[in-house]
Amino acid sequence: MRVCIDIQAAVTQQAGVGRYVKSLVQRLGDTAGSDALALSYFDFMRRGIPFNVPGAATSAIRWIPGRFVQKAWKTIAWPPFDLLAGAYDVYHFPNFIIPPIRKGGKTVVTIHDTAFLRMPETTEEKNLRYLKAGMADTVERADAIIAVSRFTADEIAVLFNAERARIHAVHSGISDCFAPAPADKVDRDLKALGIKQPFILTVGTIEPRKNIPFLVEFYEKMDKFKGQLVIAGMAGWKCSPIFDRMRRSTRSADIKYVSYLTDSLLPSLYTGADLFAFPSRYEGFGFPPLEAMACGTPVLAAATGSLPEILGNAATLIAGFDSDRWADEAMKRLGDRSNSAGARAHATGYSWAETARQTWNVYRKVAGCA
């Protein structure tokens, strides 16, 4: 069996889907066995893949800029992806949409969430139009759909009336780097970032779905907590009102914003935090709270979307968004690492090696090799 996976998101994005694609393909090569894996991406500037994937060949598309092809896909549904990348038995598109493709190979798509339908007001306008225009066709054409949680699998089945047999719930993993960091490294990294302990931490793209204004609201009510609120993540869509709310906070002097951080720094933030707070309105999976748990930090999260499934009893989950209740629960959980070992064991059960194994099983199933 010969498999081609579109890794464009991993080449162009640092977080979110890009992180998923990079982490997955770095382990797929070890999973392939006697099968073959090729990585396809647009490389008009001939810069090469910015990461190593053992056991995989590359199918770099160098003769035409990717932005031109992607525009053509959206407007005239041409050229077929397999005309550019070559002929394979299975094609995996891990970023929501299947582009135009001929009928020579089977298609697999990863759908990470359906927030664009459930909460369209939280989605970037351009991305919303793109997903609404292409998702129904993608679901109809896909030979197999990978959902990153059972919750997301159920959402796809309901919202698109898709056959459940074609939908495979395959949990994502977390990197092995997420573990309690040594105290000296925590001190050094926090000092470099200008963060003072104690502090409450949240991590995620600064966009409406993450519900950061509500986080600021209940933090303001924690008047007995004299530490900082640290908000880490890249600026995303509709972020201006969020930053404005942070600046207008009655505790603005204690709110520290840091932009995207590498995996070398994140474990220190997670480890050094007294509490990780995640009041997200909707998640298809939910990497940050799992990463915090893997570092031994207590987690307070919203009982929304996939979070009850993914976090289980290892985190404190709250239904609804009552700021007084969140403030009270946060005060109770500050620095409480009594369940640290159990939370770490739960979080480290999500491995990319297992994600890759289950993903390859999907490929073999659609190719008729299982």
Give the rounded percent of residues in the chain with a pLDDT score beyond 90. 84
Q: Tens digits of per-residue pLDDT, 106-142?
A: 999 999 999 999 999 988 888 888 888 899 999 999 9
Predicted TM-score (pTM) of the model is 0.95
Count of other CB atoms within 10 angstroms of residue 216 = 21
Class of domain 183-347: alpha beta
Tokens (6 digits) for 307 = 């979070």
Domain boundaries, the chain: 2-173+351-366, 183-347
Give the domain 2-173+351-366 fold. Rossmann fold (3.40.50)
| Rounded CA separation 50/12 (Å) | 10
Burial 143-180 (b: 16+ CB within 10 A, else e): bbbbbbbebbbbbbbeebebeeeebbbbbbbbbeebbb
Q: What is the 3-state secondary structure (H, E, C) of 114-167?
A: CHHHHCHHHCCHHHHHHHHHHHHHHHHHCCEEEECCHHHHHHHHHHHCCCHHHE
Q: Tens digits of per-residue pLDDT, 322-362?
A: 999 999 999 999 999 998 999 999 999 999 999 999 999 99
- The neighbouring-strand residues paired with 317 are 301
Q: Tens digits of per-residue pLDDT, 198-238?
A: 999 999 999 999 999 999 999 999 999 999 999 999 999 89
Confirm whether 2-173+351-366 and 183-347 share one CATH topology: yes
